[in-house]
Structure 1
Amino acid sequence: MKIEVQNIADKWQLYTLTNNNDMSVSILDFGGIITEINVPDRKNNIENIVLSYKDYTDYEKNPEFLGAIIGRIAGRIKDATFVLEGKKHFLEANEGTHHIHGGLKGFHQVIWKVTPFQTDDTVGVKMTHTTPDGEGGYPGNVKVSVTYTLNNKNELILDYLAVTDKITVLTMTNHSYFNLSGNAAETIHSHHVTIDSNEFIELDRELFPTGKKINVVNTPFDFQNGRKLADVISSTSAQNLVADYGYDHYFILNHKKQESIIVKDEKSGRRMTIKTNQPGVVMYTSNTLDEDLDLAEGTARPYLGVCFETQASPASLHYEDFPTVILKANETYNKQTVFSFGIEK
């Protein structure tokens, strides 16, 4: 187990965590951004399975939020406004007239304070940040920590903790784009995905929830028994079309299985499982990935990665009976997502 630290662009630190199996994870203090996750395939070729920029300075703008911590709110807030306890709050509009992923000064733009740690069988970094009352239009002083832990089971554990001094809204996630083919050798069409969910949230043409939950049975959104993305990603169903032939939808997790999500790539043999105590996940299949991005893996193109954004739902700010994003004073936000990596023989 080891931690290596590298200076980047004379302003950031890159922390690389390596376990005893030669699996490694690299994380920037800027944005808490995961730049690499290197794991073996069935032939023991160790390759990066998340999208990353060729030039580290491109993370400064990072329009696609590659690998970043997202907050205070992961997702979109319509008209950049919400009402909390009768008071209307006005957020920064950073997607037209709407608000997305915490705004221009969201957690993906923060230089986090980092404390590395190491035990006999784990290595990691704890990142902390305090966001003041009113920043970006959000109420409450919020103290946040995100801890990345890598162990010898090839598990990457993300622990999110936060407390606030007044009622606020908060739901955090990580925005890594996974591609198990390794170094983005192929698109994600061959990925086989299983999601423990029988409901997803319907979206309108602007990708905002309509307030309706849809049962996945007999739809291209039924991943309960697993299916290959290539078989459904070009579906002409109304909900796939609003996302430009693919997925950018919130699935409500059943939590009936130990693993909420299973992703497999037959050619490389890589297998990733996701366990979480979050109520749901947004699966985004990079349908509209900006083709002008210069990635370490080559020029960007749609369907080059898939995000699994475990989180609550900002739709709860406008509709009842959705996983809430409200955090009350002196309550503790305590969420965990575990990514496990292995090989299908």
Structure 2
Amino acid sequence: MKKIGGSLFILLAVLCIFGCNKKENNNKTNSDTMENVQVSDYGVTAKGDSIKKYTLTNKNGMKVEIINYGGIITSLMAPDKNGKYQDVVLGFTKPEDYFNGNPYYFGALIGRYGNRIANAKFTLEGKTYDIDKNDGPNSLHGGKEGFHTKIWTAEPVKDAKLPTLKLTYVSADGEEGYPGKLTTTVHYTLTDDNALEISYEAETDKATVVNLTQHSYFNLSGNFSNLITDHELQINADKFLPVNSTLIPVGEEKSVKGTPFDFTAAKAIGKDITAQDEQLKLGGGYDHNWILNGNGMRTIATVYHPASGRVMEVMTDQPGVQFYSGNFLDGKFDTKTGGKYEKRSGFCLETQHYPDSPNQPAFPTTELKPGQKYQTKTMYKFSVKK
């Protein structure tokens, strides 16, 4: 019996060692995956909610920082032509400035409806819905308490091959006046070719309207005291949507040819921005939707900053993009590099459906019904030109 007991003890010991080593190896694999997504404390809201920051890092050393408040991108480090990494997205220097309304929507996920809805109302299936009026007579970016002010459930995706953060938010039926309980999931993925991929999904239990987007401001110079007027922009669009005095599309699709809105060939953002054009006067610069050429996932815009050599390509499957030249930045907030965020110190390229689509039947529909899934994807890819 002693001999048998000794043999069993040896066998169990061997199995334990094997099993423990296997478990240790599994844990090591998970740890290696999670090394690409670091979690840290970011700040505490006025209501006492603790906000986390998630840092995604790819194999090249490119980093993007995201907080679960508003799904906000607070930093994006991209290399220049000399290999120097600098932050290229505008953002606040203090967490409380994000938590106190984020008046410029810096870096935020936007919903339920990106851009403007005229007179803060729309009719769906015979019923009129009044939504939050937060932009003169209109509703902008989902209302004052839109998705940019919500605390999202965030979790790094452990089994992903690339650093990926999953964000989820459930919007109650009637929130900000919108019908239906809407469950939204967004994945941020940082690829090994220096692209930030943003995938959106949403489902509802009642007919509603949805138009999600991302509202990062970019300045590829890496110095936020510099204006973006020297950035060279190309937009793959032959038409844009003229607007009225409250920046609502008038329903006309206008050719960009022969206008300051022609970016079919790359040109400096500042080249025509002060031209004597009624649409530029109404927007205080560029703040319009371009009707994108083509369908499906394609490159819709390219931005080049000659001094740094940085290039940003925008890819999407959406029908439109709002090019906004930072006209309402007003020097009230400190930049992350010193100085103030002045007018035109950043630009946005917000991929989207058209503004005011719920009130304009000729525009592509933004209606989402129960049983349907809203799905869209946008990528911001960074490279250099020497």
TM-score w.r.t. length of structure 1: 0.97
**In 2, Cα distance between the equivalents of 1:265 and 1:190?**
7
Residue aligning to 1:293? 333
Does 1:91 find its partner at 2:91? no
Residue aligning to 2:167? 127
Q: CA deviation at 1:250?
A: 0.3
Whether contact under 8 Å (1:193, 1:261) holds in the other structure is: yes
**In 1, Cα distance between the equivalents of 2:275 and 2:162?**
42
Whether contact under 8 Å (1:314, 1:325) holds in the other structure is: no
Residue aligning to 1:18? 57
Q: CA deviation at 1:120?
A: 7.5
Q: 1:313 aligns with which of 354, 367, 377?
A: 354
Does 1:328 find its partner at 2:369? yes
Q: CA deviation at 1:3?
A: 1.4
Does 1:8 find its partner at 2:47? no
Say which is worse superposed, 265-274 or 110-119, in terms of deviation. 110-119
Amino acid at match of 2:41: N
Does 1:179 find its partner at 2:219? yes
Q: Taking every aligned residue pair, what percent have the same amino acid on both sides?
A: 39
Does 1:48 find its partner at 2:87? yes
Say which is worse superposed, 131-140 or 178-187, in terms of deviation. 178-187
Say which is worse superposed, 48-57 or 292-301, in terms of deviation. 292-301
Q: Secondary structure at the match of 2:356?
A: helix
Q: CA deviation at 1:317?
A: 1.8
Residue aligning to 1:73? 113
Q: CA deviation at 1:230?
A: 1.7
**In 1, Cα distance between the equivalents of 2:193 and 2:213?**
22
Does 1:243 find its partner at 2:243? no
Unaligned runs of 5+ in 2: 1-34, 45-49
Q: Secondary structure at the match of 1:4?
A: strand
Does 1:217 find its partner at 2:257? yes
**In 1, Cα distance between the equivalents of 2:160 and 2:69?**
27
Q: CA deviation at 1:327?
A: 1.0
Q: Deviations over 1:1-23 (max 9, x none)?
A: 61111212232001011111110
Q: CA deviation at 1:130?
A: 0.7
Amino acid at match of 1:52: G
* Stretches (4+) displaced over 6 A: none
Q: Secondary structure at the match of 1:212?
A: coil
Amino acid at match of 1:226: A
**In 2, Cα distance between the equivalents of 1:68 and 1:35?**
9
Q: Which structure has the highest helix share of the two?
A: 2
Q: Secondary structure at the match of 1:267?
A: coil
Amino acid at match of 1:166: K
Q: Secondary structure at the match of 1:242?
A: helix
Q: CA deviation at 1:146?
A: 0.6
Q: CA deviation at 1:119?
A: 5.7
Residue aligning to 2:294? 255
Q: Secondary structure at the match of 2:237?
A: coil
Whether contact under 8 Å (1:314, 1:324) holds in the other structure is: no
**In 2, Cα distance between the equivalents of 1:118 and 1:282?**
34
Q: CA deviation at 1:255?
A: 2.2
Rg larger in structure: 2
Q: Secondary structure at the match of 1:220?
A: coil
Unaligned runs of 5+ in 1: none
Change in 2 beyond 3 A, CA 1:119/1:214: same
**In 2, Cα distance between the equivalents of 1:159 and 1:15?**
17
Q: Any residues of structure 2 matched to 1:102-181 within 5 Å, and which?
A: 102-118=142-158, 121-181=161-221
RMSD in angstroms over aligned alpha carbons? Answer: 1.4
Q: How many residues align?
A: 344
Change in 2 beyond 3 A, CA 1:338/1:295: same
**In 1, Cα distance between the equivalents of 2:105 and 2:141?**
9
